[in-house]
């Protein structure tokens, strides 16, 4: 990614701790995700955002702060990001945030970024694997009134004032030029995430990660948590396997003839083949 006399970039990366995909559980009473007692990891798609941020930092210096909203255990995700190469992390945590939908989450993260201040670029993953909406990145951009590129597949060029990116669209690729600061959400095509290093893990253990509550951010409590979320899950349906089949194993010519006749009747009853049938 070419740089045109770029100053040191201050980058903020919102990340999320999500349950292992196979362990996602929902509380049918509240319509919220059950996180207690479930093993969690960094949202896999956020790893690409982290990698892009680290590459920018390696190319011309700068600082990367990762932020997340979640329970105290989400601190683990921030430390993993630091072990990969990020500089600092901020955890926004408190019972008042429980049950937040994408709008409430975007609001809190946007206010966190405002408090941090002095940033040039916000990089987010395309979506989270637990909710799969892709709304938080654009939501943050909306609250902060930032230029936005979603589904970003390449950073073409960056200068002190502008960033040029390519983004995936249905017809192929689109090139955007945006003023800084701006926000991009990235897809897998943009990078290949690195693994944490031993030195990085050692530094991550020693890094002091502040925990901010609503009082640190002076938030409007009517916009927080389940009560402040306009999106509600009102009903949960579990998919049912409705297909039924019959397995027939002919053992001789007589049973084979019966099987063929049975199959032909089935095809005719279901009208799977249109046209004239010859008996």
Are 143 and 267 in the same domain? no
189 & 279 share domain: no
CA atoms of 264 and 233, how far apart (whole Å): 46
156 and 249 housed in the same domain: no
Instruction: Yes or no: say if 13 and 49 are a contact pair by the CB < 8 Å rule.
Output: yes
Residue 210 within any structural domain of the chain: yes
Domain match, 269 and 145 both: no
Please report whether residue 234 resides in a domain.
Answer: no
Q: Are 49 and 111 members of one domain?
A: yes
Whether residue 236 lies inside any domain: the answer is: no
Do residues 34 and 167 both lie within one domain?
Answer: yes
Closest to 13 (Cα-Cα) out of 47, 40, 41: 47
Same domain for 215 and 259, yes or no, is no
The answer as to whether 230 is a domain residue is: no
Radius of gyration of the chain, Cα coordinates, nearest whole angstrom: 25
- Say if 233 falls within a structural domain: no
pLDDT at 54: 96
Query: Do 62 and 125 share a domain, yes or no?
Result: yes
In terms of domains, do 207 and 255 share one? no
Q: How many CA atoms lie within 13 A of 180 on its CB side?
A: 22
Instruction: Quickly list H helices, the chain.
Output: 46-60, 75-84, 102-116, 136-144, 198-206, 214-217, 253-270
Which pLDDT value is given to residue 24? Answer: 60
3-class SS of residue 214: helix
Residue 149 phi, psi (nearest 5): -125, 120
**pLDDT tens string for the chain (279 positions)?**
555 566 689 999 999 998 876 556 666 565 555 556 667 899 999 999 999 999 999 998 999 999 999 999 999 999 999 999 999 999 999 999 988 999 999 999 999 999 999 999 999 999 988 878 999 999 999 999 999 999 999 999 999 899 999 999 998 999 999 999 999 999 999 999 999 999 999 999 999 999 999 999 989 989 999 888 888 777 777 677 666 777 778 888 888 888 888 888 888 887 777 665 555
**Domain boundaries, position 279:** 245-279
CATH of the domain at 154: 3.40.50.620
The CA distance from 176 to 111, in Å, is 26
Within-domain flag for 103: yes
Residues 29, 105: one domain?
yes
Same domain, 137 and 272: no
Query: Is residue 239 assigned to a domain?
Result: no
DSSP 105-136: HHHHHHHHHHHH---SEEEEES--TTT----H
Number of domains in the chain: 2
- Cα torsion angle, 73, 79, 81, 87, sign: positive
pLDDT at 248: 78
State the Cα–Cα distance between residues 212 and 145, nearest whole angstrom: 23
Taking the C-alpha atoms of 47, 49, 50 and 52 in order, what is their torsion angle to the nearest 10 degrees? 120
Question: Which is nearest to 86 in space by CA: 249, 204, 187, 193?
Answer: 204
CA distances from 8 to 56, 80, 86, 264 (A): 9, 23, 14, 73
């Amino acid at each position: 990614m070419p740089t045109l006399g770029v100053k040191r970039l201050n980058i903020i990366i919102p990340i999320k701790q999500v349950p292992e995909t196979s362990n996602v559980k929902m509380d049918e009473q509240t319509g919220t995700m059950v996180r207690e007692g479930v093993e969690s990891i960094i949202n896999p798609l956020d790893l690409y955002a982290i990698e892009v941020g680290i590459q920018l930092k390696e190319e011309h210096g700068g600082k990367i702060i990762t932020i997340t909203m979640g329970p105290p255990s989400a601190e683990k995700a921030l430390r993993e990001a630091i072990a990969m190469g990020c500089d600092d992390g901020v955890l926004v945590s408190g019972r008042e945030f429980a049950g937040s939908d994408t709008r409430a989450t975007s609001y809190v993260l946007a206010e966190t970024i405002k408090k941090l201040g002095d940033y040039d670029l916000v990089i987010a993953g395309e979506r989270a694997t637990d909710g799969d909406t892709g709304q938080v990145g654009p939501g943050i951009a909306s609250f902060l009134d930032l230029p936005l590129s979603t589904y970003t597949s390449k950073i073409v060029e960056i200068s002190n004032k502008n960033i040029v990116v390519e983004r995936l669209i249905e017809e192929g690729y689109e090139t955007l030029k945006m003023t800084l600061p701006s926000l991009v959400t990235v897809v897998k095509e943009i990078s290949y995430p690195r693994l944490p290093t031993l030195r990085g893990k050692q530094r991550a253990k020693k890094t002091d990660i502040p925990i901010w509550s609503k009082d640190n951010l002076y938030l409007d409590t009517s916009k927080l948590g389940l009560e402040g979320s306009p999106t509600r899950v009102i009903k949960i349906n579990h998919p049912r396997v409705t297909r039924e089949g019959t397995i027939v194993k002919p053992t001789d010519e007589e049973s084979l003839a019966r099987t063929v006749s049975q199959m032909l009747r089935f095809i005719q009853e279901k009208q799977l083949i249109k046209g004239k049938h010859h008996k």
